[in-house]
Amino acid sequence: MPRPAPSKSETGAADAEALEDGRRLFAQACEFVTGAAAVDHIPETGLPEVAFAGRSNVGKSTLLNALTGRATLARTSNAPGRTREINFFKLGGRLILADLPGYGYAHAPRVRVKRWTWLIDAYLRGRAGLRRACLLIDARHGIKSADRDMMAVLDGAAVSYQVVLTKCDKVKPPALETRLQEVKHELARHTAAHPEILATSARDGRGIPELRAALATLAARAKLS
């Protein structure tokens, strides 16, 4: 099935040079560094970092696979013993991808949820190299209460975050445009929210080059600073 042409609101109108920078960055080796179940296990890498956060069923692992073009990357992070850790990946020696535990886990014991929540909060508030968080939102459902809780944490930690809609292939174009406007309207009330929303689909590839380009731009800016 041919990939649908993305709209300007979906892509953020990334230019050809930025798209090529993103392609080159994500064509490089992406290596698992470590999984951190406690704050003192979080590694010091000396590299700029981007965190990926989202509800447990938002498709975060699938998106990371699509970004890196490596079907086994998320499988590494889902291996036994690392399922509720912050998992760190080094991309081409230029950027760290931090895969945060999924939130909104309805069946997990409360004490375990509290521990994961504390770990995520401590990480976000104490990570000097963290350049941005990608907040993944299921395009079919929009922003839910658990997402709002995470947005409040990100606002409080003064971490810049960008909403990335996932599973956009499952939403018809008129409904997707309505969802984009709804999310944009809600983000306007949040101080740490990046104004550009990216609509993606790991299935048909839309938005993936634009997200790569955005992250490559962050890595390049960090190198110059």
What pLDDT was estimated at residue 82? 40
What pLDDT was estimated at residue 105? 67
Domain ranges of the chain: 30-224
What pLDDT was estimated at residue 215? 97
Q: Which residues contact 211 (CB under 8 A, 6 or more apart)?
A: 22, 67, 134, 164, 198, 200
Q: Which residues contact 49 (CB under 8 A, 6 or more apart)?
A: 95, 96, 97, 98, 127, 129, 130, 131
Q: Which two tokens stand for residue 127?
A: 């990570």
Give this prediction's pTM: 0.88
135, amino acid identity: L
Q: Are 6 and 180 in contact (CB under 8 A)?
A: no
End-to-end distance of the chain based on CA atoms, in angstroms? 43
pLDDT one digit per residue (tens) for the chain, 225 residues: 444 444 443 444 569 999 999 999 999 999 999 999 889 999 999 999 999 999 988 999 999 999 999 876 755 444 433 457 899 999 999 999 999 988 876 566 676 667 778 889 999 988 989 999 999 999 999 999 999 999 999 999 999 999 999 999 999 999 999 999 999 999 999 989 999 999 999 999 999 999 999 999 999 988 766
Q: State whether residue 47 is helix, strand or coil.
A: coil
CATH number for the domain running over 30-224: 3.40.50.300
